[in-house]
A and B are shown apart, each in its own frame.
Chain A
């Protein structure tokens, strides 16, 4: 019945394979008890540096599924010296990312001209409700602490 070699060779080869797997250690990681370390550049969650953000809206415009919501207003800063010019600065009111919509493409991180968005390898932010997946700027700022150091520049 077997193609070549002695009869039933195929059956015995199969049984050998399963026995080998049986004797090996299982590859299961018991998730809540043991955790795998994500690779350094893992796309876990997007962190926001509020100080660097200029409310330029580039990320929100480039986002393919429009999951970034930004609101802001202009603020006037009084002149530093007498008779100086009054400066304006953009102030961020709202920066929400809807992770129920996000497809982790990373275009927002790529497109940000002021390095305000970063990839963080943290992945444990699941929720019971889909509406709770909308994370505000405070939450996004918290993730800034988990962003790894950028790799050294290539010489």
Chain B
């Protein structure tokens, strides 16, 4: 196929999955949080169950004035939301939706993924630095500190998967899960059930921190920093950040599902079936993980900044290192 045509098709496909996914998760967050607090949540927008609430919110944001503070570094300030959204979108390039349905099958997939997922935090730091507001600055710096602390457990947890699978390509990792035989028996299970349960937990905690979601939302922390790096943003740029947060949930959940839950693969389905059903299987797993994220958000209180750092450096990183050693040990022995 023509390169440019293929590029357009891939970009459209990624947007067609990611933006509705983000809207569904926003709506899920509204409804699930409401029911977890014995409320109903949105009820009237769109007729039934208030399904149009995220769209109505988006339209409302678009009507707002796009303010740039006098003290802001205007060009950086205006660019920041796009960088955040870009970093999130870029992770989708290598997510496999089926044996042949992958936008780009990079051999260094996992490496690329961990590299571009840090881009969003750069955008957050840009936003905090350029806003000309002390709360935004502290928020941006907190986000940077959080990224440095939690990128390590995230990478180390993913390394254990790469060791077990013997490849960095995401499609290779899914195939390794589909073909690995447990103790010589003809049983194939995703990695979360075959030795990576600790790695999965570390990855989930670290990805919550990467997404700055409660209980790791110190960069935003309304009660201390008004809204952190979001304080000065309004209108379409705020929408970008908002969408970026939820699109980030989709991408992080998709990565976690691919690495630990078998991605598009379900036991007992052939490649032909998976090429059609794969996207739906992956999206189901993504939504389950997103539900877990939302559930945690509405249960746990925010950590303090020093608790956040000690959790990463004193607990997650040592445990992740031990996890790598054990994974490598079992890989060699069996």
Contacts and interface: CB of A to CB of B under 8 A. Distances in A.
Interface in A1-35: 11, 14-15, 17-19, 21-22, 24, 26-28, 30
Nearest to B292: A15
A18 B215 CA distance: 15
Interface residues of B, number: 14
Contact of B36 (A21, A28, A30): A21
Contact of B38 (A14, A15, A26): A26
Contacts of B34: 26
Contacts of A18: 36, 295, 298-299
Contact of B299 (A17, A26, A30): A17
Contact of A21 (B38, B40, B296, B300): B38
B215 to A, nearest CB: 10
B43 A21 contact: no
Tell me the interface secondary structure of chain B in the complex.
loop
A25 to B, nearest CB: 8
B186 interface: no
B223 interface: no
A140 to B, nearest CB: 35
Minimum-distance CB pairs A-B, first 10: A28-B40, A18-B299, A18-B36, A14-B299, A22-B36, A26-B40, A27-B38, A22-B35, A15-B299, A26-B38
26 contacts: A11-B299, A11-B300, A14-B300, A15-B295, A15-B296, A15-B299, A18-B295, A18-B298, A18-B299, A21-B35, A21-B36, A21-B37, A21-B38, A22-B32, A22-B35, A22-B36, A24-B38, A26-B34, A26-B35, A26-B38, A26-B39, A27-B39, A28-B38, A28-B39, A30-B40, A30-B43
